[in-house]
Every structure is written in structure tokens, then in C-alpha cells.
């Protein structure tokens, strides 16, 4: 969970309980149904993203056909394509310019992990630069796969907590990550 | 200067003058500061993240009011090091890398690379005719899909939204054909050294002919909307002027140089893959501007459809012909088929290599692990991609891996002409000019 | 151009258990081709000699291979030859510069390869210039073909060849403050190992493979 803090004020005054849960559900419902993506199409995945926004695989039915060019007005950054070392600071600057609440989908193998380009020029996964909510594999992923990722993100957004509940969840996730077994110690799972 | 230091609209003095950083905030203080500056010129940075710069292109503009006095392109934001990466893979694996350079015309990248490898191997005559016909057909379909993106995004950047939807609708039909034949919509790695990866599935020719008929009908939507449209012509006529002398010295090829009147098309003057056997025209215009290039692209669509129909007629006769060279030490061995869990090695092929033929097993093993060896030397092969002359300079040292692969990308060379086209015009015209060059940043930066 | 190769596997860090360690592949050296060259190459060579009498000084080698003509030119004479080719022999278009790094070719490590197209005569030739690592200077062809501008910047960025007389030789593909020239053979590919369930898959430059 990306650790941006929402400062709406209202939910911080409310005690955790039934009222806050209803506010969470309402806010989640509103947010997920009009998620505006920021244009961050870089390479081949950008073409599939455009195809997802075009006539056949219509993103407008999710309220997402407006790809806002200005990151100030966008909620979702779909990093579509390979991020080179020259582009990484620009990526971070665009992410910083977005206002919370904001989410990131790493679309494609290159955005998720560097893809087939394991070399000097490509950042091996944009999670080195921005916190990612959904990793979408594929080279490039079909528009239907992108829509599946967006729908999974919608479920995540709907379930997100606000206020003191959110602080609690962030602390729990951080503790779990600190105590997790590192990958090189995960032995015996090659089957 | 303002007494209050605005964190969102700050200014600082540099050797080039005052630099204003704008990250949102108070425009009034910014405008007052600019107004107080003695200089009339303003340097503005467009991109690399910008909806209208056709990809991750950074344009640095020096403006005097609305007129652009200087424009410089900053590229390299998509540099992937593909050329160096290929040096660590074998010759067949190079196809999958090369495909992703110019991602709107992946089959052209593959074709030029494979033509180069075949030239180095010396097997250009041995490539079977069916493979050549399939290559030509796929390349012409790719030309259509690439021009659709060029027209759609070009129109979108100039403010026309409907052509974008129309163009992507036609593109989807072409991508359906690609998926039917090769299994993937984009970046297919279908053309391999020696031929194509697998044979055409049953029903291809009918599907192709039906798609051609459909496209011929649907292309009229765009034509009726844009050709002769006053607003479109006002935005594109006389814009982005580049004449023949400028184009030749800058090394610009493709629709841009054909818009000056020169019918430079490699398919006609230096044919490859059997292009000399097809009837088609080279489209030119003589207005040297954005409108001319737009008309060229629209008319090239019809020529591509003509070539595809001729390919389909040829394919009807070539049922059952091989699609890979006869030399088993080079031919890619896999025959793919749809199984219960997706596409994989066909059971017939597995039965053959495991049960019947020891040589097939050895060939399959050696080709997949080691790859074939290519005799030493260097070669330059070129094809006519939708953007211009796409060339591959391949150097081999006799081994299984390329020693050096360099692609002469048309987008890279064409983009140099932006300054020549745009200086002296208005900002809005730059967008049109860049859209008419149609650069694909994956090809520019590789 | 290349040296003798020992063994058949690429990675030298791990022990070679293949049994192919004793294989030696001889080095390759491409000599000069003899006349007649075939096709239009003889006509091009004759026209060039007629238009540029000092041609024998400027040229190091003529190679005709796989249907293509390559003229190896001395770096100092490059601009003269290019001007003659453009004006007298009508090679109007340059397809750009391609750099190649041969670390084993002592004193001729960096090659710059120019492909030229004559639209009038429908001919293609290739010019190749070799310079040593210690003094990688080649005269710039921006005055002859303006389109060489970005191509020379790219070759400088990737190989470190310095083009004298270029109006603005800076990095074009890598960030401006990048150190090193990536496509040289002594520059590492730079990949990282991928960890997966206890195993590490090395980057492609470090894997065992056939040469």
C-alpha cells in the first residue's frame, strides 16, 4: 500500500467504527469509478494502452477515457513501457506532481522488472523509482489484460481504508515487510 | 522582482539569464517577472512527457511571442541499448530484440534484420517463395497499421478526435489478422532468418481477403472527414516545409521526401523479397508540406491493399509449400500448434524428433542452444518501412552471436529535420510538422 | 580484425566442463579484393580515380564482399573523398555513421562506417575509416551531408570517436553526464542477476554460451 496520507480532515475526526466504514466505502466507490489516468506511455505498451482506450476495448465504460496530460489532474499513472535511466527522474517528477490519492500500474514486463532488457540503460522495474500498486506482465499485455489489471485496482481502491484505519494498515504492511523472509532464503520451492 | 519567494514559481539567475521554474502556483508573479525582463525571447521546454510530442521527445523551443525562433530536440529518453544486448544473444534471438525498436512496424525491423542475416549467410536465393510472399503480405499489413497510428495520433495532436477512433478501429482489424497468423498482435518475432516462423493456418486467405474488403470500405471514413476539410487544410497546408535539397542533405526518406515530388521508394528501385513481381504505384505529392505527407499516407493505404490482394492470389497457388530454407542447419525447427494449454510445439514435430529422425533432434537441439554460425563479414540491408529507409548494418565475426548490429532508423534521421521545418513558424505548427515526420521514439533511441 | 578464439563456451569465469576447451578458431583477416570487382563497382572505382587523382593515397583497401563495395579510407582524406563522391559521383544521400569497435585490431580499434546512396545512379557503397583508441579523431562530414549531425553525435556517445569540426558534439542517447561509451566492447552490458526462489540467474553477459 503506497504510504500517502489522506488529509481530508473528516475521517481523522471520526472514531473508527460504523460511520468511518461507510465513509470509506463511499469514498472508495467514488474514487474507483472515475479514475483518471495520466499519459505516461513510453514504448510498445503505450500503443496497447491507446488501443485499450480506443473503440474496441473501451476504457470509457470505466470512466477512464480522459487521459489527463497534466499530472495535477490525474489519479492513476500507468507506466507503459521501458523506463530508461534518462527518463527515470522525469518519471519521479511526474509522480510527485500528482496529488494524493494516486495509484501506479506498472504495465508490461519492462515496467515491472526491466523485462528482456537487463542492461545498463533500463531501470530494472519502476518500483525502484515509484511505489507500484499493480504489476501487469506481458510484452505487451493485451488491452484486455490491462483492463483486468485496472479492475483489480478498482477492487483494491474500493477496499482502501481511511484515517486511523489507514495508518494502522500502513504500519502492519511495513512490519510484515520488515519481518519477511528475504528471497535468497526461500529455499526448496523450485518445484 | 517579487519580494515574496513563491516556492512554486521561483526564479534564479544563470549565465543564460533568468530561469523561471514553474510547478504550478501563482502565475501573476511569474508574468510580472517575465514582463520586467528586458529580453523578448523565452525558452520553453516541451516534454518528454507531453500529450502532443508523439512519444518521449523533448522539444526545447526559443519563442518570441508565438513564433518559434529556434527548436532543438532532446532524445534518448527511450534508449534501451538493444544493439548492445543483441551482441550477447544468438542470431535468431536477435529477431525478438530488433522487433521492439520501431514498435509500430515490428515486421519491418524483423525483415530487414533477417534479410541482412540471409545476405551474410548467402542464402537469399534459397528463401522459399512462399516465405517471401508471406513476408510481403505481413509487411504491407504492418504498413497499414503503422499509417493508422500515424494518422490517428497526428490528427489527435492537431485536435481532431474522431480520426483517432476510426484509425484504431481499422488497426484492430489488422491486428486480428496478425494474431491469426502469428499468434501475437504486436512484436511478433514472426520473420526469422531463412523464412518465417510457422506456416499459415487454415482459412488465412479468406480472412485476409475479407479484411481487405472491410478496410477498403472503412478507409473512406477518414478520407471523407479530413481530405478537403477546410480546418484540416488550414492547419496542414504550407506547414513544415522541407524541399528536395533539404531532404537529400539531411538524409530524410519516406513520405517526407516523397512529398517533395521524388518517387524514392526502395520497393521499386532496389526490390527485395520479390517486390518486383507486384503491381503497385509509388505515391508522391509536390507540395512539400504536412498536407502532402498526409495525402501520401492515405493513398499508400490503398496501394498496400493492392499488394495484399496480389499476395493472397499467389498464396492460393502455394498451398503446402515450405516456409523455411531447405538447409536444416539454419532453418528454425519448431512447428507450432495450438494445444490444450496454448500454443506450443506441435505434437507431430515432437513425434518426429523423438521417434523418427535423429538428425531432426540434433538439428533442433543445436539450433535452439547454440544457433547457427554465420560466416564473417559485414552487410547492409535496407527495406522501405512506413517512415522511410530502414537499414541494418550487421557485422559478423564468424560466430553464433552478432558482433555488431546497427540499425539506420528512418525516424532518427527524419527527426533531425524538425529544426529546418519549424523555425519561423508558430508553436502549433511544430506539432503538425512533428506528426507528419511520424517519429517512433523506440526507433529513434533504440 | 579478430583474434584466435579458444574453446566454444562464452563465460570464462566458470570452469569449462564441455570438453571443447581445446578447440581453436583461427583469426579472421579480410584482405583487399582484386579487380575486376563486378557489377557497378568497377565503374565507381574508375570514376573515383579519375575525379580524385590522389585516390591511391587515400585508400587503404577495397573489399567486395556479398555484393557490396567497401572502401577503406584514411581518416585524414575522408572529407576530400566524401566531397568527390557527393559532387562528381552523385552519391547525394548519406545513410549515417555506424561505429564498430574491434579491440583486437591494434591501432585500428574504432571503425566508423558510412553508407552512401546514389539516387541518380541507384548505387550503394560503403566507406570505412579506422582510427586507434589512443587518438580517436575523424573529420566530421556535417559540411558534406547535414544529416550526419545526429549520427556522429550518436557514434561519439556510444564509442567515443571524436569528430573534428562537428558543430556540437555532445551526448545524444545517454544522459549528458554519463561516464563511458556504452557500445564499446570493454564496456560491460550492466545487467543484474535475477533472484528466483533461491537461485540466481546471471545477466546475459555472464551466462555460459557458445561463442
For the residues of chain A, what is the DSSP string, one character each?
Answer: ---PPP--SHHHHSPTTHHHHHHHHHHHHHHHHTPPEE--B-SHHHHHHHHHHSSSS-SGGGT----BSSGGG-SEEEEES--BTTTHHHHHHHHHHSPSS-EEEEESHHHHH-TT--STTB-S-GGGTS--SEEE--SSPPHHHHHHHHHHHHHHHHT---HHHHHHHHHHHHHHHHHSPPGGG--S---
Instruction: Please determine, for residue A116, whether its predicted confidence score (pLDDT) is greater than 70.
Output: yes
pTM of the full structure: 0.89
The distance of C191 to chain A (nearest Cα, Å) reads: 4
User: With contacts defined as CB-CB under 8 Å, which chain A residues touch C188?
Assistant: 120
* C-alpha cell read off for B325: 530454407
Q: How many residues does chain C have?
A: 211
Q: Residues 156-185, chain C: which have Cβ within 8 Å of A?
A: 174-175, 182
- Identify the CA nearest to B367 among candidates B404, B327, B394, B322: B327
Tally: H helices and E strands in chain B: 18, 12
What integer pLDDT is reported at residue B9 of this predicted model?
53
Bridge partner list, C196: C199
Q: Say whether B119 and C210 touch across the interface (CB within 8 A).
A: no
Per-residue confidence in pLDDT tens, chain B, 446 aa: 444 455 555 666 766 666 666 655 566 766 676 666 666 677 888 878 777 667 888 888 888 878 888 888 889 899 998 999 898 888 998 999 999 999 999 999 999 999 999 999 988 888 999 999 999 999 999 999 999 999 999 898 888 888 888 999 999 999 999 999 988 898 988 999 988 988 888 889 999 999 999 999 999 888 888 888 899 888 888 888 888 998 999 999 999 999 999 999 999 999 998 899 999 999 999 888 899 999 999 999 999 999 999 999 999 998 888 888 888 888 888 777 766 776 777 777 888 888 888 888 888 888 888 888 888 889 999 999 999 999 999 998 888 889 999 999 999 999 999 888 888 888 888 888 998 998 999 999 88
How far is Cα B99 from Cα B191, in angstroms, rounded to an integer? 10
- CB distance C198–A85 less than 8 Å? no
ipTM over 0.85: yes
Q: What share of chain C has pLDDT > 70, as a percent?
A: 83
Interface of B with A (CB under 8 A): 23-24, 48-51, 55-56, 76-82, 84-85, 96-97, 100, 103-104, 149, 153, 164-165, 168-169, 171-172, 175, 185-187, 441-442, 445
- Report the pLDDT value the prediction gives residue B90, as an integer from 0 to 100: 87
Whether B186 sits inside 8 A of A44 (CB atoms) is: yes
Which chains, if any, share at least 3 CB pairs under 8 A with chain C? A, B
Give pLDDT, residue C9.
62
C-alpha to C-alpha distance for C127 and C82, rounded to whole angstroms: 9
Write out chain C residues lying below 8 Å of B253, CB-based: 93
Residues of chain C neighbouring B393 (CB-CB closer than 8 A): 98, 113, 115
Q: A43 vs B187: CB contact, 8 Å cut-off? A: no
Query: 3-state DSSP helix/strand/coil percent for chain B, to nearest 5?
Result: 50, 15, 35
Cα(B101)–Cα(B385) distance, integer angstroms: 13
Q: Answer whether B406's CB lies under 8 Å from B398's CB.
A: no
Chains meeting B at 3+ CB pairs closer than 8 A?
Answer: A, C
Cβ neighbours of B62 (radius 10 Å):
15
- Does residue C36 have a cis bond before it (omega within 30 degrees)? yes
How confident is residue A72, by pLDDT bands cut at 50, 70 and 90?
confident
Q: Is B421 on the interface with C (CB under 8 A)?
A: no
Strands C59-65 and C68-73 turn out to be: antiparallel
Strand pairing category for C162-164 and C137-139: parallel
Q: Which of C57, C62, C63, C106 is nearest to C77 (CA)?
A: C57
The reported pLDDT for the residue numbered C163 is: 92
pLDDT at B30: 67
Asked if C190 lies within 8 A of A187 by C-beta distance, the reply is: no
Closest residue in B to C116 (Cα–Cα): B251
User: DSSP letters along B16-63, please?
Assistant: TEEEEEESSS-HHHHHHHHHH-S--EEEEEE-SS-TTSSSS-EEEEEE
**Does C178 lie at the interface with B, CB-CB under 8 angstroms?**
no
Amino acid at each position: 500500500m503506497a504510504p500517502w496520507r489522506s488529509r481530508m480532515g473528516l475521517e481523522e475526526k471520526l472514531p473508527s467504527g460504523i460511520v468511518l466504514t461507510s465513509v470509506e466505502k463511499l469514498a472508495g466507490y467514488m474514487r474507483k469509478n472515475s479514475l483518471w489516468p495520466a499519459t505516461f506511455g513510453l514504448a510498445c505498451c503505450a500503443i496497447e494502452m491507446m488501443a485499450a482506450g480506443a473503440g474496441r476495448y473501451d476504457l470509457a465504460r470505466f470512466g477512464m477515457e480522459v487521459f489527463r496530460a497534466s499530472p495535477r489532474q490525474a489519479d492513476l499513472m500507468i507506466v507503459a513501457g521501458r523506463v530508461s535511466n534518462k527518463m527515470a527522474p522525469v518519471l519521479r517528477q511526474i509522480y510527485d506532481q500528482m496529488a494524493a490519492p494516486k495509484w501506479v500500474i506498472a504495465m508490461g514486463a519492462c515496467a515491472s522488472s526491466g523485462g528482456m532488457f537487463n542492461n545498463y540503460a533500463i531501470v530494472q522495474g519502476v518500483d525502484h523509482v515509484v511505489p507500484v500498486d499493480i504489476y501487469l506482465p506481458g510484452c505487451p499485455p493485451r488491452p484486455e489484460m490491462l483492463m483486468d489489471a485496472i479492475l483489480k485496482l478498482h477492487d483494491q481502491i474500493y477496499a482502501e481504508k481511511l484515517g486511523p484505519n489507514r495508518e494502522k494498515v500502513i504500519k502492519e504492511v511495513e512490519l510484515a515487510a520488515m519481518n519477511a523472509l528475504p528471497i535468497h532464503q526461500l529455499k526448496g520451492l523450485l518445484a | 522582482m517579487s519580494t515574496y519567494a513563491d516556492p512554486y514559481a521561483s526564479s534564479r539567475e544563470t549565465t543564460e539569464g533568468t530561469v523561471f521554474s514553474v510547478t504550478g502556483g501563482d502565475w501573476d508573479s511569474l508574468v510580472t517577472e517575465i514582463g520586467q525582463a528586458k529580453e523578448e525571447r523565452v525558452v520553453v521546454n516541451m516534454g518528454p512527457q507531453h500529450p502532443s510530442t508523439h512519444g518521449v521527445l523533448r522539444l526545447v523551443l526559443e519563442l518570441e511571442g508565438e513564433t518559434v525562433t529556434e527548436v532543438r530536440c532532446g532524445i534518448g529518453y527511450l534508449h534501451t541499448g538493444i544493439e548492445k544486448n543483441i551482441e550477447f544473444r544468438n542470431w535468431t534471438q536477435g529477431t525478438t530484440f530488433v522487433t521492439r525498436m520501431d514498435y509500430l512496424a515490428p515486421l519491418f525491423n524483423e525483415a530487414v534484420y533477417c534479410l541482412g542475416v540471409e545476405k551474410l549467410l548467402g542464402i537469399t536465393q534459397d528463401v522459399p517463395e512462399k516465405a517471401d510472399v508471406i513476408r510481403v503480405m505481413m509487411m504491407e499489413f504492418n504498413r497499414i497499421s503503422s499509417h493508422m497510428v500515424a494518422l490517428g495520433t497526428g490528427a489527435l495532436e492537431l485536435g481532431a478526435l474522431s480520426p483517432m477512433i476510426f484509425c484504431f478501429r481499422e488497426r484492430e482489424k489488422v491486428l486480428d489478422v496478425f494474431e491469426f497468423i502469428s499468434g501475437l498482435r504486436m512484436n511478433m518475432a514472426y520473420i526469422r532468418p531463412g523464412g518465417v516462423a510457422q506456416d499459415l493456418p487454415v482459412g488465412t486467405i479468406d480472412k485476409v481477403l475479407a479484411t481487405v474488403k472491410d478496410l477498403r470500405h472503412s478507409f473512406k471514413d477518414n478520407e471523407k472527414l479530413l481530405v478537403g476539410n477546410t480546418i484540416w487544410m488550414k492547419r496542414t497546408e504550407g506547414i513544415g516545409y522541407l524541399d528536395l535539397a533539404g531532404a537529400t542533405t539531411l538524409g530524410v526518406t519516406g513520405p517526407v521526401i516523397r512529398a517533395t515530388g521524388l518517387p524514392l521508394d526502395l520497393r521499386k528501385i532496389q526490390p527485395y523479397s520479390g517486390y518486383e513481381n507486384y503491381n503497385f504505384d509509388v505515391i508522391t505529392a509536390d507540395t512539400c508540406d504536412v498536407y502532402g505527407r498526409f495525402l501520401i499516407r492515405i493513398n499508400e493505404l490503398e496501394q498496400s491493399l493492392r499488394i495484399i490482394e496480389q499476395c493472397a492470389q499467389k498464396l492460393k497457388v502455394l498451398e503446402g509449400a515450405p516456409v523455411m530454407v531447405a538447409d536444416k542447419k539454419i532453418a528454425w525447427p519448431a512447428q507450432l500448434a495450438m494445444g490444450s494449454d496454448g500454443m506450443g510445439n506441435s505434437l507431430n514435430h515432437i513425434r518426429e524428433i523423438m521417434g523418427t529422425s535423429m538428425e531432426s533432434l540434433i538439428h533442433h537441439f543445436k539450433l535452439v542452444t547454440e544457433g547457427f554460425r554465420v560466416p564473417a563479414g559485414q552487410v547492409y540491408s535496407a527495406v522501405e518501412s512506413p517512415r522511410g529507409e530502414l537499414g541494418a548494418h550487421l557485422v559478423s565475426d564468424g560466430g553464433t552471436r552478432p558482433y555488431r548490429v546497427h540499425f539506420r532508423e528512418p525516424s532518427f534521421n527524419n527527426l533531425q529535420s524538425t529544426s529546418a521545418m519549424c523555425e519561423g513558424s508558430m508553436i502549433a505548427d511544430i506539432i503538425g510538422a512533428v506528426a507528419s515526420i511520424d517519429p517512433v521514439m523506440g526507433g529513434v533511441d533504440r | 580484425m579478430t583474434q584466435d578464439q579458444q574453446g566454444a563456451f562464452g563465460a570464462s569465469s566458470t570452469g569449462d566442463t564441455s570438453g571443447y576447451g581445446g578447440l581453436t578458431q583461427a583469426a579472421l583477416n579480410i584482405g583487399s579484393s582484386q579487380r575486376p570487382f563486378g557489377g557497378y563497382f568497377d565503374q565507381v572505382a574508375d570514376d573515383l580515380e579519375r575525379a580524385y587523382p590522389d585516390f591511391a593515397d587515400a585508400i587503404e583497401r577495397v573489399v567486395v564482399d556479398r555484393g557490396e563495395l567497401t572502401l577503406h579510407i584514411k581518416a585524414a582524406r575522408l572529407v576530400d573523398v566524401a566531397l568527390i563522391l557527393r559532387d562528381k559521383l552523385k552519391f547525394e544521400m548519406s545513410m549515417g555513421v555506424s561505429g564498430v569497435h574491434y579491440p583486437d585490431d591494434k591501432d585500428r580499434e574504432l571503425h566508423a562506417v558510412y553508407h552512401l546512396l546514389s539516387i541518380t545512379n541507384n548505387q550503394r557503397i560503403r566507406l570505412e575509416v579506422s582510427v586507434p583508441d589512443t587518438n580517436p579523431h575523424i573529420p566530421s562530414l556535417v559540411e558534406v551531408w547535414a544529416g550526419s549531425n545526429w549520427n556522429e553525435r550518436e557514434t561519439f556517445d556510444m564509442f567515443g570517436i571524436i569528430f573534428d569540426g562537428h558543430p556540437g558534439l555532445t551526448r545524444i542517447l545517454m544522459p549528458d553526464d554519463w561516464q563511458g561509451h556504452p557500445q564499446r566492447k570493454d564496456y560491460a552490458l550492466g545487467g543484474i542477476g535475477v533472484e528466483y526462489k533461491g537461485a540466481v540467474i546471471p545477466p546475459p553477459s555472464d551466462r555460459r554460451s557458445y561463442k
